[in-house]
Structure 1
Amino acid sequence: MKWVCRLWHTAEQRNKEGKWMIYFDEQRYIQTVLAKMIREFDYRHVLGTGKWQEWQEWQQAFRSKLAEITGLEQIKRQAIGVPLSPRITETVEFPEYTREKIYITSETDIEVPFYLLLPKNAVKPVPLAICAHGHGRRGKEDYAGNFESPEDREQAINQDRDLAEQAISEGYAALVPEVRGFWEMARQEDMHEGKSKSCDDMQRISLLLGRSLIGERVHDFSRVLDYAATRPELDMEKVMITGSSSGGAVCVFTAALDERISLVAPGCYFCTFEHSIVSVHHCICNAIPGIMQVGEMYDVVGLIAPRPVLMINGETDPLFPIEGVHISFEHVQNIYSEFGSADRCELFVGNGGHRYFKNRVWDFVREQWAL
């Protein structure tokens, strides 16, 4: 009892009125719950079996479960029979490429806007880079090279956010979809009020409907891929996806759930869920119900194997701590080694914080697509 009294009688336990208080210990709560949790699809359940069939079965079962908890399974079921109904609303000519603005139907009464940039001098069909933007009021616009001002262009280039134009310079086509919750796919009232996103309310509604924003975003990107497959200019055997922050999340989950993606380069997102989404304050759009009961982030990335994957992180990124990045990458290496594809898995750490780094991206793509 004396020990209990000493524990409670500390300065930190007094409120402003001088009364003793207790507060919720979030970190202890997290560690206590995680310590008792056995993830259903932890890759280590099949590690060391050396059986290709068992790894394939693990991926198939885990992919199905992930589609269920993100709501993607329900979304796809409800979208059966919905035509793409594509419409090109704008075509702009630039010296090196043509940029089309296109809308396709993702679900009943829901359209997804995106830009398609086609290089003029490349031999057709051309490889395709899908560029997923992160949080930011103008969503896809900067990533597609549609800047509001020369100053915005300069800033985007300095931060390597001009992803579509980078792809064009490599001779690839680029698709830049709007991520649900931003700009043209944000709520009108939020944009009129000057907000930069609609994630909070849209995630609240989607969760109540048995969905998640991650699942809806993956579905939108898969529908954009359906459209890409109708364009003879595009080489659907060489489709990569890259993006930054929440765009990095879209990269990981789209590639994990849609096997048409042949190469993945998520920027400033890869880590463990424990070190990042669980322990650091993030936008609610990153939340997936029960994800930690089924797998860690490295398990999700394991669904991409043996397809090439390049993780891009900042050394000092406070949202995705580098300690968790290295822990997670070691596990991903284990999975890729089981697939005999250790040379297809790489981590690049840039000298900076929460931002995209292009330094290694396009060399990695060329090397992997040349194999």
Structure 2
Amino acid sequence: MICMIQFDEKKYIRSVQSKLVREFDYRLPMKTGNWQEWQYNLRHKLAEITGLTQIRRHSADVPLAPLIAEIVEYGDYIREKIYIASEADVEVPFYLLLPKHAAQPVPVVLCIHGHGKRGKEVYAGNYDSEEEREQAVSEDRDLAMQALSQGYAAIVPDVRGFWEMARREDLDAGKAKSCDDLQRISLLMGRSLIGERVHDVSRLMDYAESRPELDMSKVMITGSSSGGAVCVFAAALDERIGLAAPGCYFCTFEHSIVSVHHCICNAVPGLMQYAEMYDVAGLIAPRPVLMINGEADPLFPIEGTQLSFRHVQAIYEQFGAADRCELFVGNGGHRYFINRVWDFVKEQWKL
């Protein structure tokens, strides 16, 4: 008989984590009061390890070259389908939905989809069946329609790895995403999907600045699941985002990405040597942030979410902005919850 001592993953994780000392633990500036310096240094490190610094450097001279491929007029809004160059040989498709009857310029909401084969189409209300529409509405994933109902414009892109930003061979094979292979390639090249997705969001805002219909003093980002991840990292790394509302993502890395099986697109090399999720979210301060989570979400356990939120509150208190940081816990699992979102936006933007 062969004697086997099976690998103990939990024991391994505990052992490795016990030796980690986060370089940018938010409690360090508690002693010095150097909060702006802490944010600057962590933001710089985060841009470096996600590959965003490299991506920005390589794409600095790439023109946006916008192409409006389609304009469709509906009763209360106009929908444009647009392509922009995010970096050399990478075009990002997105919808811009403009309300017809709101006074311009209008606030703009970046709506970032999560894992789902049809990507931006569902979030922009471009359904391929009544069943798809009913499911999206029942789970509050019709984010662009929600924004339009408030009189705001919506920008809805495909996230890298999905729909028009997926590999053709994956879609032809019936796969819903290309995250695994795109992340493998990105990591080998000193990048990450998180960094690439954040860069795409920044390029979308570059384009939005060229549109006089949009009020760039009121820019919100919201999304669901991996879209919520993009919300947190994009708001942390691009200060033009004035308000963030990540859905069904906010937690600790320890309770979620480390301890629960997740898509590899959530991984950033070496991140936990530098920051926990609440440290990353602390880079949003003092700008308003609303965390949206389900009490029964198995992917982002609520105990980790509540623990993480207490830490973020502590950061916001140091900025004198405790009233700009809020957690809404919905009665359900891994999904978006509309309940508090638009009231929070109105209160923070004083609309």
TM-score range, shorter chain: over 0.9
1:24 alignment partner in structure 2: 7
Q: Of 11, 21, 40, which aligns to 1:60?
A: 40
- Whole-Å separation in 1 of the counterparts to 2:2 and 2:344: 60
How do 1:1-371 residues align onto structure 2 when only pairs under 5 Å count? 19-49=2-32, 51=33, 54-370=34-350
Paired letter, 2:152 = Y
Question: Please, which runs of 5 or more residues in structure 1 have no aligned partner?
Answer: 1-17
4+ residue segments displaced more than 4 Å: none
Alpha-carbon distance, 1:20 to partner: 3.2
Paired letter, 1:90 = E
Secondary structure of the corresponding residue to residue 223 of structure 2? strand
Secondary structure of the corresponding residue to residue 285 of structure 1? helix
Alpha-carbon distance, 1:155 to partner: 1.0
Normalising by structure 1, we get a TM-score of 0.94
Secondary structure of the corresponding residue to residue 30 of structure 2? coil
Paired letter, 2:172 = H
| Deviation sequence 1:101-146 (CA, Å, 0-9, x none) | 0000001111000000000000000000000000000001000000
- Whole-Å separation in 1 of the counterparts to 2:42 and 2:334: 30
- Whole-Å separation in 2 of the counterparts to 1:239 and 1:325: 25
Alpha-carbon distance, 1:19 to partner: 4.2
Paired letter, 2:9 = E
Q: Which moved more, 1:58-67 or 1:18-27?
A: 18-27
Paired letter, 1:34 = Q
Q: Give aligned-pair identity as a percent.
A: 74
Paired letter, 1:91 = I
Alpha-carbon distance, 1:150 to partner: 1.4
Normalising by structure 2, we get a TM-score of 0.99
- Whole-Å separation in 2 of the counterparts to 1:342 and 1:171: 27
- Whole-Å separation in 2 of the counterparts to 1:361 and 1:225: 21
- Whole-Å separation in 2 of the counterparts to 1:28 and 1:324: 19
Alpha-carbon distance, 1:48 to partner: 4.6
Alpha-carbon distance, 1:69 to partner: 0.1
Alpha-carbon distance, 1:36 to partner: 1.4
CA-based RMSD of the aligned residues comes to 0.8
- Whole-Å separation in 2 of the counterparts to 1:264 and 1:80: 26
